[in-house]
Amino acid sequence: MKNRNPVVHKLLESFVQFHKLNWKQSPMVSLKSSEIMVLFSIKKLMNPDTPGIKMSDISNALRVASPTITQLINSLETNGFVERTMDKEDRRAVRVKLTDKGEGAIEKASESFYEAFNGLAEFLGEENSNLLADLLSQTFTYFEKRKKEIF
């Protein structure tokens, strides 16, 4: 990394630092942050005229392998945050929906996420917040493209 473009070095340093950041801090003592992410994505995908979300849809939404979702849903189900039901049209599929407890949990989590990120948005200022979000998305695009090109 020697005597090269200092911007590059600065970028790398900030990435390292940022990466350590635990911004996903679970506000619910009883839920891991991966579980909260699952609840969020169920909430987001859910619509009133379906009996629940398919495992594979959660897996796609979170870009996580399906056995991972199985495990997370197992734990969420045994703790009463979600319910599994059989899909009547496709008996291979499983439909998952939030219980009232689940709804309550994401209500709280949502509150606390909002508070944290609202604080950040205030701290950075609206313009910078927008900029940051855009730059992060661009960075994501860059690395995804790069990955495809290399392999």
Which residues contact DNA by CB under 7 A? 20, 24, 26, 32-35, 37, 54-57, 59, 63-71, 73-74, 84, 87, 90-94
Contact set for its own copies, span 30-59 (CB under 8 A): 37
Between CA 100 and CA 22, with CA 31 as vertex, the angle to 5 degrees is 135
Of 41, 17, 16, 37, residue with least CA distance to 26? 37
Distance CA 87, CA 43 (A): 18
Helix (H, G, I), strand (E, B) or coil at 57: helix
Task: Work out whether 148 is an interface residue with its own copies (CB under 8 A).
Answer: no
Strand partners, 94: 86
Confirm or reject binding of residue 26 to its own copies (CB under 8 A): no
The residue count of the chain comes to 151
Phi, psi at 86, each rounded to 5°: -75, 145
Choosing from 56, 74, 85, 137, the residue that interacts with its own copies (CB under 8 A) is 137
Q: Which does 8 bind (CB under 5 to 8 A by kind): its own copies, DNA, none?
A: its own copies
Contacts with its own copies, residue ranges (CB under 8 A): 1, 4-5, 7-8, 10-25, 37, 63, 110, 113-114, 116-121, 123-124, 126, 128-140, 142-144, 146-147
